[in-house]
């Protein structure tokens, strides 16, 4: 019988929920942060035969501390192969990658994602520039299926994205085929309030599960269109005690699943020394973790 955790953060719930969507024997591409943590958790628990690739061009890295970015040296540590980003992207465009995990600032009912710019609602002019696509457009276009992670339903779900950085189903049925996109499109959106899947015919998002402490009515009020609800809608399964234990060994300073990022914002320059010490202190628990699960 599963023992569910009573004390967990929202980000830990996002990681665990994402991990459960990953299937054994899949090849996936995951960005640093929640996606790589989810892939690691899946690989340790129920999907021990997955192959994880990164945009930097590594295959199955197995670092002994948390990754900072896709260019961090840990992305290469104990990797099975280092073919390079061009090879990974070529493989994805040729249909060899089963799953991609992306995020952004906005998502609409058809799963189109914007991570490029936010427009002013009154003037229509540019309000905020965002980091851009990175590899997300390639992933959304070519991966066989895509997981989209959004931190907030209220802020991130919009009637129409200001810019399509990463295509979902565009304007609905048949659009991906019309433009020759080889990938299958988004399968699920995981937000801070629930999970959303797509109708196989209409290609429109519907509510599949609601997270503990959130109601269906609250989620529908956050979404600016008439959100459909699955007849089998249920509460999202919470993390187990083992899953939380694993995550806190993988991310001991809470960089991605806790409040670790706040350390970088303390003071005028940020307290990077404290943050770096937290990372150095993670080697010992990660060493124990590797011995336990390798």
* Residues annotated as catalytic (active site), given as ranges: 55
If we measure between CA atoms, which residue out of 104, 135, 99 comes closest to residue 117?
Answer: 104
For 163, 199, 217, 237, the CA distances from 227, given in Å and listed in that order, are 21, 12, 10, 22
3-state secondary structure 209-261: EECCCCCHHHHHHHCCCCCEEEEEEEECCCCEHHHHHHHHHHCCCCCCCCCHH
Distance CA 285, CA 218 (A): 40
Look-up of token digits 């200001």 = 162
For 85, 142, 145, 230, the CA distances from 166, given in Å and listed in that order, are 19, 11, 13, 25
CB distance 18 to 53 below 8 Å: no
CB distance 149 to 190 below 8 Å: yes
Per the structure block, which two tokens stand in for 60?
């199955």
Q: What count of Cα atoms within 13 Å lies in the side-chain half-sphere of residue 29?
A: 35
Query: Phi and psi dihedrals of 234, rounded to 5?
Result: -150, 175
Distance of CA 181 to the CA centre of its chain: 21
If we measure between CA atoms, which residue out of 15, 7, 5, 6 comes closest to residue 257?
Answer: 15
If we measure between CA atoms, which residue out of 95, 68, 47 comes closest to residue 60?
Answer: 47
């Amino acid at each position: 019988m599963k023992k569910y955790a009573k004390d967990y953060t929202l980000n830990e719930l996002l990681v665990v929920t994402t991990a459960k969507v990953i299937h054994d024997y899949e090849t996936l591409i995951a960005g640093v942060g929640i996606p790589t943590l989810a892939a690691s958790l899946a690989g340790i628990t129920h999907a021990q035969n997955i192959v994880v690739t990164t945009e930097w061009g590594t295959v199955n890295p197995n670092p002994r501390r948390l990754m900072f970015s896709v260019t961090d040296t840990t992305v290469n540590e104990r990797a099975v192969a280092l073919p390079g980003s061009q090879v990974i992207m070529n493989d994805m465009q040729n249909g060899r990658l089963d799953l991609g995990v992306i995020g952004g600032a906005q998502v609409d009912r058809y799963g189109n994602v914007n991570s490029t710019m936010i427009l002013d609602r009154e003037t229509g002019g540019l309000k905020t520039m965002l980091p851009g696509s990175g590899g997300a457009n390639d992933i959304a276009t070519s991966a066989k299926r895509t997981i989209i992670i959004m931190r907030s339903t209220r802020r991130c779900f919009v009637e129409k994205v200001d810019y399509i950085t990463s295509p979902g189903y565009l304007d609905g049925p048949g659009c991906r085929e019309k433009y020759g996109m080889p990938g299958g499109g988004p399968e699920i959106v995981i937000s801070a309030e629930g999970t959303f899947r797509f109708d196989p015919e209409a290609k429109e998002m519907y509510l599949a599960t609601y997270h503990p402490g959130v109601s269906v009515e609250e989620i529908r009020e956050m979404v600016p269109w008439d959100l459909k609800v699955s007849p089998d809608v249920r509460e999202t399964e919470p993390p187990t005690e083992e899953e939380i234990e694993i995550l806190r060994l993988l991310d001991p300073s809470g960089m991605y699943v806790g409040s670790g990022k706040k350390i970088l914002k303390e003071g005028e320059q940020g307290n990077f020394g404290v943050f770096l010490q937290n990372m150095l202190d993670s080697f010992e628990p990660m060493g124990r973790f590797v011995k336990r699960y390798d």
